[in-house]
Structure 1
Amino acid sequence: MKICHILKNNLFMISYIWRFSKSYIFLSILSSIDFTINPVIDILLMKVVVDSIAEGKPLINIMVFLVAVAGVNLFSAANDAYFNNRYYPKKDEEFSRKMQLMLLDKRRVCEVSCYENPEFYDSYMKAANEAQGRPLWVWGTVLGFLRNLFAIGAIGTIVIIIDPFIILFSLAGVLAGLFFSTKMGKVKFNFDMAKQPLERKKSYVNRIFYLPQYIKEVKLSSISNLLREMFVTSSKELVDVVHKWGGRVAWMDFAQTITSSTITVGAMGYLAYRIVSGNMSIGSFAAMLAATNQLRGYLQGLLQIVPDFYKHSLFIDNYRQFLEYVPLIDETKEGKEIDSMSSGIELKNVNFTYPNSDEQTLKNVSLSIKKGEKIAIVGHNGAGKTTLIKLLLRLYDPTNGEILLDNEVYKNFNVPKLRSKFSVVFQDYQCYAFTVAENVLMRKCETEEDELLVVESLKKSGLYDKISSLPMGIHTAVTKEFNAKGTLFSGGELQKLAIARVFANNSEIVILDEPSSALDPISEHNMHENMLAAAKDKTVILISHRLSTTLSADKIYFFEKGEIIESGTHNELLQKKGKYAEMFEVQAKKYKYNG
């Protein structure tokens, strides 16, 4: 890696600190200067006190000097205590928050395909881990470098004044140590990269045993054995990684220790010669002894810090790669805005293949959805129904073919504005650790109008009776994760909560992806009736396995292996006696039998 690239990456991180807080930069530099003064004073104190005693100077002169030094040290200690325990921790959290928010904002605009790509997830996790502290680590490295450099300069000046020859020992040690420590930086980076995927697997197992939605299956099945095996295997592989890379780190560390020892032995041997030859005073000897030990320490520190810039640069590459990723579907790009849909949506010969897959999920799909029309998409699992919805929401773009809205190509529209036209209940809906009202609105509930909207939406979804019986009503926390007074809802209740979002969102197009899969038949019927009433003037796209919910659809599309093999109204499809009629008959017999 070239030096200019290393410098560029580290300056990239420092620029964020400068942008967030210029005062932090200035104050930390001043603190570094204060840090440099102390070792110089200690060395001079040793020389002055010892020479003063040897020369028989008055005790009062020595005490005045000692009091002055004590005052400087007291100020320095107070300064360090404030910055290390109050100022820096506050700034650390502020910087971490700002960097994490940048990542979250970036993550929001990345297309769905990114989240289904393990490499992208690894990249994001690496970037997220770096965002928590890497900017301050970089700046800390810069400060450490400056502090050591200033201290070496100041102490080196004292050494040169007394005996410049000893600097040669230090320079030799620097060159050798710099070589070995640079090599160590690369080895440690590879070590960390090798550990990360294995540690992520261990973290996954721990998360499964922690999250409540997994606990029932974990207790009632043998999946815990698989999870335990994954944990043990990952742990053993980590041991192998440590064995492989740890030995290399140990050898590099040993080489650096030898370099440091060479500096110390050489310098001390030379100082001993000067004392024996009578060319150095007792005070100068004491000062040089202290200076040699401190210079050794600061040189070691400098040698350890320099490779950190290289290591930082490797990690920053991950961070920049994520931040600079250009989404395939740019949600920030300006495009046409939609006031109101006038005619409808049309798909023309749409084909779609998921990234990193060779199998087509959708094949030559052509259909039209007129404004205000109620259509149903049916078929067996894996037929491509949910994928079609992802394309309509422009979570993906077709591999071939095109989608039109009011005869305008989808890609020409502003993405957020396009998606705002849809209200969706996904098959794999999620509820969040916020209040019921916030889960319905998907934002803060701030006004009385908001509360009334939530209540009406819950009534239509069939959940209001349950919510109204709770002490906090619509302001009850969902789950107990962050609130002991929260409520745990059943699967059917959570689905009704998700369905309430559709009633609360006044959008033109409603998409229901298996909206009643967790509901009993009566609740399903009531929800369906309420949904149709609420969506009387809306366009509705219903995906369902239960064909009883498709009876009133204006048009039904039957998907099989990514293709539309039948289409028409319920009665038309029954008359065709095809796949739809076969599925409907099987389900109808089931309901008759159960009845």
Structure 2
Amino acid sequence: MKNRISFGPKLARGRLKQIIFILSEVIKIAFKAHPKLLTAVLILNALWGFSAVPGFYLEKLILDNLIAGMNAPDIRAVFNRVALFLAFALALSLFRNILGSYNRFLRRTLSKYVDSELDVLIGNKISRLKLSDIENPEFKDRFNKVQRESGRRAWGLMMPLSDIPNYVIGFGSAVAILLIVNPLISVGILLFSIPRFFIDSRFIKKDYQLDTQMSTKYRIWGWLRYYLVENRNFLELKLLELTDYLSRKMRKISLEVIEKRIELNKKREVSSFLGHAPLTFYDYAVSLFLAFQVIIGRITVGSFQLYVRSLRSAEENLAGLVSSFLEIYENYIYVTDLVWFLNLKEETLKDDQSRVLDEEVENIEFKNVWFKYPRTKKWVLKDISLRINNREKIALVGENGAGKSTLIKLLGGFYKPKKGEIFVNGVNLNDLNLDIWRHKLAVLFQQFETYPFSSHESIGYGDIERLDEIEDIKNSAKITGVHEYIEDLPLKYENPLAPEFEKGVNPSIGQWQRIGISRILFKRHAQVLILDEPTSNVDPEAEAKIFNELTEITKKKMLIFVTQRFSTVRIAGRILVLADGKVIEQGTHQKLMKLNGKYARLYNLQAQAYISS
């Protein structure tokens, strides 16, 4: 698939190999996001490292000249030299300030590009996963962590990597100066930095383990925040007086997470102090040694300043290097979740052996189909056998939980039967190219998406390649009766369908259902129309009109609709009654009423309610 970054079928074995592998993949993302910016950031980091050392040497020259000039006969000459060195130091300082500011600007800009690239990458991936994976609670917990952490962690993995050349150059330059005094000084810096590395790396792992442990709570917290802050149904919150209760629940989760983090951070800070202490004592011991060298006349005060600054620079750059590796390790642990996600096996829509269904859909047949959802024991469908022919109008009726919506999911290839088979034109659905098959389906699910953009887009998404065909979009809206509503909006078909936007509106549930039906009607090449409770919130008059229009425009197509409202079920040529996962009755309305079974009982109950009212 175009613009896809491959993370390979398996992660490399071994921690170091994994880190290198993941680093390389994150760099690929950054390079794909903006190659020029990434290159510029790396070059500027290297320049920053090189530019520090000349400043140390200029400080040495200034101090040496000041001390020597105290007894010099030509004070003006000394002043001129010092002024020149100070001018160089000023120029260098200004250069480093400009370099640093520009580098920070480029980093912030690059981070936006990387975040955008990751959002697109994650969005594309989730759309290609199997429904059974997406609905898995364990997947939801880990994916929630991917959503929370992947952007900043991927960036946090790459930026320390770009800092490493800066720290290596800075450390190497400082060490080169210290070698003049005593080579062992540099060895000591390395040795006394080791405890910090191991202590911090241990707590990084503990922090990740705590984050994993809290994943479900984070997800619950996210839902609570949505209901309190982002949910549009504020009226229900006010009427039910839920705000205080949900706020308390949200605060309780927050406090639980915070308390666990405080406990871990206390231990981390104490251990970190103990790990840093040896290097602090070593720094003062070396400074004392250098001061003694000045007293006995082996080095000048300027050299003392140069060596002490070099010592501190070596320590700071090594600390920066250690921090970079620790940051890489910390972010690597989190980015493994992103890589896990990007490595998940995708839904197989087609392969070399897949059959492409070019011809018209003549029939669909379920043969002894059994199904239960993953990680559950209850059979939702039991031994379903039925055949639907082209141009048939089929209604699926039954109480909630009877298996009607599940039947549609299987027909779309989102799940596979646990037992039995589904055939399209005599070909097993498992052998079909699902991509082509789904192009022949137009499905409106019971919980369909309400896109907050324009009506033009919300309806046009039904056939994305024809998004610009506005007249056909309007024709679909006219069939469902939503055209007049849209035309009355300030911006008509370009009006936002969410009050959060300027001039945005909040359509009623009934209007949304009409927009949803318009969306599937806009799918020109669909041969099988499937509607799950399509008019449950539409008034009876509009419902009758919609179904009359549907009957007319689907004369040459297969229409399957799920409904609980028996006022519209009569348009079906055949009604299938489901109960406890089985088809217990089927036939026309008249036949089923004569049968006086489940269908007749449900119909009479609903009819009696209308008569009574």
Question: Residue 218 and residue 530 in structure 1: after superposition, are their counterparts in 2 closer, same or farther (change >3 A)?
Answer: same
Say which SS state the counterpart of residue 542 (structure 1) adopts.
strand
Q: How much has 1:379 moved relative to structure 2? A: 0.4
Q: Distance in 2 between matches of 1:286 and 1:452?
A: 79
Q: Distance in 2 between matches of 1:21 and 1:449?
A: 30
Question: Residue 558 and residue 127 in structure 1: after superposition, are their counterparts in 2 closer, same or farther (change >3 A)?
Answer: same
Say which SS state the counterpart of residue 469 (structure 2) adopts.
helix
Q: Distance in 2 between matches of 1:242 and 1:91?
A: 31
Q: Which residue of 1 aligns with 2:166?
A: 147
Say which SS state the counterpart of residue 428 (structure 1) adopts.
coil
Report if the CA contact (8 A) 2:52-2:170 is conserved.
yes
Q: Distance in 2 between matches of 1:486 and 1:228?
A: 29
2:405 corresponds to which of 372, 386, 410: 386
Say which SS state the counterpart of residue 180 (structure 2) adopts.
helix
Mapping 1:199-210, distance limit 5 Å: 199-210=218-229
Report if the CA contact (8 A) 1:435-1:474 is conserved.
yes
Q: Distance in 2 between matches of 1:567 and 1:487?
A: 43
Q: Which residue of 1 aligns with 2:61?
A: 48
Q: Which residue of 1 aligns with 2:432?
A: 413
Q: How much has 1:127 moved relative to structure 2? A: 2.4
1:62 corresponds to which of 77, 82, 89: 82
Q: How much has 1:385 moved relative to structure 2? A: 0.4
Say which SS state the counterpart of residue 471 (structure 1) adopts.
coil
| Alignment of 1:474 onto 2:487 | no
Q: Distance in 1 between matches of 2:215 and 2:271?
A: 22
Report if the CA contact (8 A) 1:184-1:252 is conserved.
no
| Alignment of 1:105 onto 2:118 | no
Q: How much has 1:542 moved relative to structure 2? A: 1.2
Q: Distance in 2 between matches of 1:318 and 1:554?
A: 51
Q: Which residue of 2 aligns with 1:269?
A: 288
Deviations 1:109-139 (A, max 9, x none): 1122233222212322322344423333222
Q: Distance in 2 between matches of 1:448 and 1:41?
A: 61
Q: How much has 1:553 moved relative to structure 2? A: 1.4
Q: Distance in 2 between matches of 1:82 and 1:491?
A: 51
Report if the CA contact (8 A) 1:181-1:303 is conserved.
no
Structure 1 stretch 277-286 or stretch 149-158: which is displaced more? 277-286
Say which SS state the counterpart of residue 565 (structure 1) adopts.
strand
Question: Residue 195 and residue 281 in structure 1: after superposition, are their counterparts in 2 closer, same or farther (change >3 A)?
Answer: farther
Q: How much has 1:443 moved relative to structure 2? A: 6.5
Report if the CA contact (8 A) 1:354-1:361 is conserved.
yes
Gaps of 5+ in 2: 1-13, 70-76
Q: Distance in 2 between matches of 1:178 and 1:134?
A: 20
Report if the CA contact (8 A) 1:14-1:138 is conserved.
no
1:170 corresponds to which of 181, 189, 198: 189
Report if the CA contact (8 A) 1:423-1:510 is conserved.
yes
Q: Which residue of 1 aligns with 2:28?
A: 15
TM-score of the two chains, using structure 2 as the length reference: 0.91
Q: Which residue of 1 aligns with 2:50?
A: 37
Q: How much has 1:333 moved relative to structure 2? A: 4.1
Q: How much has 1:183 moved relative to structure 2? A: 1.9
Mapping 1:356-505, distance limit 5 Å: 356-442=375-461, 450-481=469-500, 483-505=501-523
Q: Distance in 1 between matches of 2:45 and 2:468?
A: 56
Mapping 1:489-568, distance limit 5 Å: 489-506=507-524, 507-568=526-587
Mapping 1:90-239, distance limit 5 Å: 90-221=109-240, 223-224=242-243, 226-239=245-258
Q: How much has 1:21 moved relative to structure 2? A: 4.2
Q: Which residue of 2 aligns with 1:253?
A: 272
Q: How much has 1:458 moved relative to structure 2? A: 1.4
2:363 corresponds to which of 336, 344, 367: 344
AA partner of residue 252 (structure 1): S
Gaps of 5+ in 1: none
| Alignment of 1:75 onto 2:95 | yes
Structure 1 stretch 530-539 or stretch 442-451: which is displaced more? 442-451
AA partner of residue 60 (structure 1): N
Report if the CA contact (8 A) 1:514-1:542 is conserved.
yes
| Alignment of 1:308 onto 2:327 | yes
Q: Distance in 1 between matches of 2:184 and 2:116?
A: 50
Q: Distance in 1 between matches of 2:179 and 2:274?
A: 28
Question: Residue 592 and residue 254 in structure 1: after superposition, are their counterparts in 2 closer, same or farther (change >3 A)?
Answer: same
Identity of aligned residues (%): 24
AA partner of residue 499 (structure 1): I
Question: Please, what is the CA RMSD of the aligned residues?
Answer: 2.3
Report if the CA contact (8 A) 1:181-1:304 is conserved.
no
Question: Residue 191 and residue 247 in structure 1: after superposition, are their counterparts in 2 closer, same or farther (change >3 A)?
Answer: farther
Say which SS state the counterpart of residue 366 (structure 1) adopts.
strand
Question: Residue 195 and residue 255 in structure 1: after superposition, are their counterparts in 2 closer, same or farther (change >3 A)?
Answer: farther
Q: How much has 1:91 moved relative to structure 2? A: 2.0
Report if the CA contact (8 A) 2:50-2:166 is conserved.
no
Q: How much has 1:332 moved relative to structure 2? A: 5.7
Q: How much has 1:445 moved relative to structure 2? A: 8.9
Q: Which residue of 1 aligns with 2:6?
A: none
Count, aligned residues = 591
Q: Distance in 2 between matches of 1:477 and 1:18?
A: 35
TM-score of the two chains, using structure 1 as the length reference: 0.94
Q: Distance in 2 between matches of 1:212 and 1:184?
A: 37
Q: Distance in 2 between matches of 1:461 and 1:198?
A: 43
AA partner of residue 590 (structure 1): A
Question: Residue 398 and residue 9 in structure 1: after superposition, are their counterparts in 2 closer, same or farther (change >3 A)?
Answer: same
Report if the CA contact (8 A) 2:575-2:587 is conserved.
yes
Deviations 1:232-288 (A, max 9, x none): 320231133124322222223222331332332222232233233332211111112
Q: How much has 1:409 moved relative to structure 2? A: 0.8
Say which SS state the counterpart of residue 367 (structure 2) adopts.
strand
2:595 corresponds to which of 576, 585, 589: 576
AA partner of residue 135 (structure 1): A
Say which SS state the counterpart of residue 336 (structure 1) adopts.
coil
Q: Distance in 1 between matches of 2:466 and 2:35?
A: 40
Q: How much has 1:212 moved relative to structure 2? A: 4.2
Say which SS state the counterpart of residue 224 (structure 2) adopts.
helix
Q: Distance in 1 between matches of 2:147 and 2:475?
A: 40
Question: Residue 260 and residue 443 in structure 1: after superposition, are their counterparts in 2 closer, same or farther (change >3 A)?
Answer: farther
Structure 1 stretch 68-77 or stretch 318-327: which is displaced more? 68-77
Question: Residue 316 and residue 239 in structure 1: after superposition, are their counterparts in 2 closer, same or farther (change >3 A)?
Answer: closer
